[in-house]
C-alpha cells in the first residue's frame, strides 16, 4: 500500500518510518498530483493553523476533499485531527471539515503538560503507548463516528468510515500498530474500489 504523509509540516520522517514498519510504503507528499498514486494519506501533527494555511497555499484543501470523496483513507494525528474535524471549539473555521466531530485545540494544555500513557484502542489487542504533546481533544462525535479510545473519559481516537483520527502521536513510539491498523484500512478501501 502506498501511504502518503502530507509533508508541509510536522513529524513526516517518523510517520514514514512507522508506515514502513507496518508493511506499507511511506511517501512524503508535497504536491497535489502525488495524491493519485496513493492508497491512503496521513496528516501529521504540527500547528493546525499553519498546516491549514499551507494546505490552502498549495491547493490541498479541495484535493484532499476529493481524495476523501473517493473513499480513500485519511489519518489525522494531533494537529491532523484538528484539520479533519468539521467543528472546532471557538471561532476558527474548519480546515477540511470531513469528520463529524467537535474538537478543542490544546485541550491538554501547553508543551510542559505533554505526557505519555498506555491506552486501550478498539481493534488493537493490547494497550498502545501514546504520546500527547499540546494535544487536542475530541469533545463530541456524530452517530456515524466510532470512538476507538478514551483517556480519563475524554475521546482521544475515533474512526468514521475511511477517516481515522488520534489526539496523540503514534509515530513517536516504536509501537506501529495504529499505523498497521491504517494500512489495513487502505487495503480494505482499495479492495472495495477494485470490485
* Position 113 pLDDT exceeds 70: no
- The three three-digit cell numbers of residue 186, written as one number: 487502505
Q: At what angle do helices 12-21 and 177-194 cross, to 10 degrees?
A: 70
pLDDT for the residue numbered 127: 96
pLDDT in tens, 133-183: 888 999 999 999 999 999 999 999 999 999 999 999 999 999 999 999 999
Instruction: Provide the domain limits for residue 88.
Output: 2-194
Question: Phi and psi of 48, rounded to 5°?
Answer: -60, -40
Answering whether pTM is above 0.85, one says yes
pLDDT for the residue numbered 108: 65
Domain at 78, CATH number: 3.40.50.880
Q: What mean pLDDT is reported for the chain?
A: 93
pLDDT for the residue numbered 92: 76
Q: Which of 179, 193, 170, 160 is nearest to 4 (CA)?
A: 179
Helix H or strand E segment including 62: helix 60-69
Helix H or strand E segment including 156: strand 154-160
Confidence of residue 81 (pLDDT cuts 50, 70, 90): very high
Helix H or strand E segment including 17: helix 12-21
Domains in the chain: how many in total?
A: 1
* Residue 31 · residue 58 · CB < 8 Å: yes
pLDDT in tens, 13-72: 999 999 999 999 999 999 999 999 999 999 999 888 899 999 999 999 999 999 999 999
Give 158-172 as a DSSP string.
Answer: EEETTEEEESS-GGG
Q: Which residue has the higher pLDDT, 157 or 110?
A: 157
Confidence of residue 109 (pLDDT cuts 50, 70, 90): low
The answer to which of 27-31, 66-70, 89-93, 100-104 has the lowest mean pLDDT is 89-93
Q: Give Cα 9 to chain centroid, integer Å.
A: 14
* Position 111 pLDDT exceeds 60: no
Q: Which of 102, 96, 108 is nearest to 135 (CA)?
A: 108
What residues act catalytically? 78, 169, 171
Amino acid at each position: 500500500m502506498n501511504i502518503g504523509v502530507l509533508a508541509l509540516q510536522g513529524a513526516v520522517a517518523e510517520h514514514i518510518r512507522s508506515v514502513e514498519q507496518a508493511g506499507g510504503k511511506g511517501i512524503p507528499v508535497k504536491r497535489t498530483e502525488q495524491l493519485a498514486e496513493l492508497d491512503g494519506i496521513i496528516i501529521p501533527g504540527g500547528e493546525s493553523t499553519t498546516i491549514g494555511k499551507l494546505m490552502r497555499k498549495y491547493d490541498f484543501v479541495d484535493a484532499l476533499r476529493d481524495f476523501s470523496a473517493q473513499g480513500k483513507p485519511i489519518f489525522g494525528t494531533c494537529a491532523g485531527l484538528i484539520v479533519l474535524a468539521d467543528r472546532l471549539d471557538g471561532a476558527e473555521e474548519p480546515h477540511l471539515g470531513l469528520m463529524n466531530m467537535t474538537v478543542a485545540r490544546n485541550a491538554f494544555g501547553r508543551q510542559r503538560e505533554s505526557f505519555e500513557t498506555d491506552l486501550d484502542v478498539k481493534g488493537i489487542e493490547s494497550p498502545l503507548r501514546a504520546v500527547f504533546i499540546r494535544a487536542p481533544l475530541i469533545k463530541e462525535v456524530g452517530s456515524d463516528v466510532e470512538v476507538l479510545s478514551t483517556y480519563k473519559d475524554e475521546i482521544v481516537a475515533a474512526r468514521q468510515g475511511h477517516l481515522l483520527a488520534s489526539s496523540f502521536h503514534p509515530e513517536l513510539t516504536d509501537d506501529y500498530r495504529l499505523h498497521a491498523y491504517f494500512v489495513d484500512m487502505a487495503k480494505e478501501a482499495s479492495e472495495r474500489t477494485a470490485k
